[in-house]
């Protein structure tokens, strides 16, 4: 798929087939994250890859998923937790860039996955405190996001349908609401 098609068709997936991700594809996804740009090229991102239904289910029960709404991650064959080592942070204008850097890197992985027919869903509704203690993360690491990675299940379960209509949407603001041109008439 070309980049335009990839960006336009990507959507959050909340129901997965159990089929594992081939190693070569998983490596390509991680490589896409590795190649991302970052402030002063500090590359603060650190990734934890969790493979296998049993491990993911155990993690799902131990990461303080808010209202269990993200418990759907247990259906995926792979979960990637995007962390950042804050010792690699660049702070400019009171802005901490480790979050931006890691988000850019993770989104490159999300799009690469989609290019291989793999669905993802960014997750923020979990307890960072519980997850970091479960994973025994180094003190300087933050958890920026996590996402299941897997082949989308063709028919959504009722639970996944309800979640998608609650959390997911294809609606986007029109350009005129989000873009301001300086020195140029609005088009």
**Where in 75-134 is the site for ligand FMN (CB under 6 A)?**
121-125
How many amino acids of this chain bind ligand FMN (CB under 6 A)? Answer: 14
Reading across the β-sheet that carries 119-120, which strands appear in turn?
45-51, 78-85, 141-150, 119-120
Min separation Cβ 99 and ligand FMN, Å: 10
Binding of ligand FMN at residue 147 (CB under 6 A)? no
Min separation Cβ 76 and ligand FMN, Å: 13
Distance CA 143, CA 141 (A): 7
**Applying CB under 6 A, which of residues 12, 15, 102, 108 lies at the interface with ligand FMN?**
12
User: What are phi and psi for residue 40, nearest 5 degrees?
Assistant: 50, 25
Those residues whose C-beta lies under 8 Å from the C-beta of residue 134, and which sit 6 or more positions away, are 59, 62, 63
Max distance between CA atoms of the chain, in angstroms, equals: 57
Q: Which is nearer to ligand FMN, 170 or 182 (CB)?
A: 170
Q: Which is nearer to ligand FMN, 68 or 124 (CB)?
A: 124
Distance CA 165, CA 153 (A): 17
Min separation Cβ 54 and ligand FMN, Å: 22
Min separation Cβ 126 and ligand FMN, Å: 7
User: What are phi and psi for residue 48, nearest 5 degrees?
Assistant: -115, 120
Positions that interact with ligand FMN (CB under 6 A): 11-12, 70, 121-125, 145, 163, 167-170
């Amino acid at each position: 798929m070309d980049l335009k098609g990839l960006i336009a068709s990507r959507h959050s997936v909340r129901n997965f087939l159990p089929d594992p991700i081939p190693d070569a594809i998983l490596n390509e996804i991680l490589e896409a994250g590795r190649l991302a740009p970052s402030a002063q090229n500090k590359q603060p991102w650190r990734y934890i890859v969790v493979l296998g239904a049993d491990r993911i289910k155990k993690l799902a029960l131990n990461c303080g998923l808010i209202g269990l709404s993200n418990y759907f991650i247990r259906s995926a064959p792979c979960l990637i937790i995007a962390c950042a080592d804050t010792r690699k942070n660049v702070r400019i204008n009171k802005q901490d860039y480790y979050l931006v850097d890691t988000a850019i890197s993770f989104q490159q992985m999300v799009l690469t996955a989609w290019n291989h027919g793999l669905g993802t869903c960014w997750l923020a509704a979990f307890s960072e405190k519980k997850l970091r203690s479960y994973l025994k993360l180094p003190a300087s690491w933050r958890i920026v996001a996590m996402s299941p990675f897997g082949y989308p299940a063709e028919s959504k379960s009722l639970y996944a349908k309800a979640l998608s209509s609650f959390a997911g949407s294809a609606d986007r603001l029109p350009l005129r609401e989000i873009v301001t041109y300086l020195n140029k008439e609005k088009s």
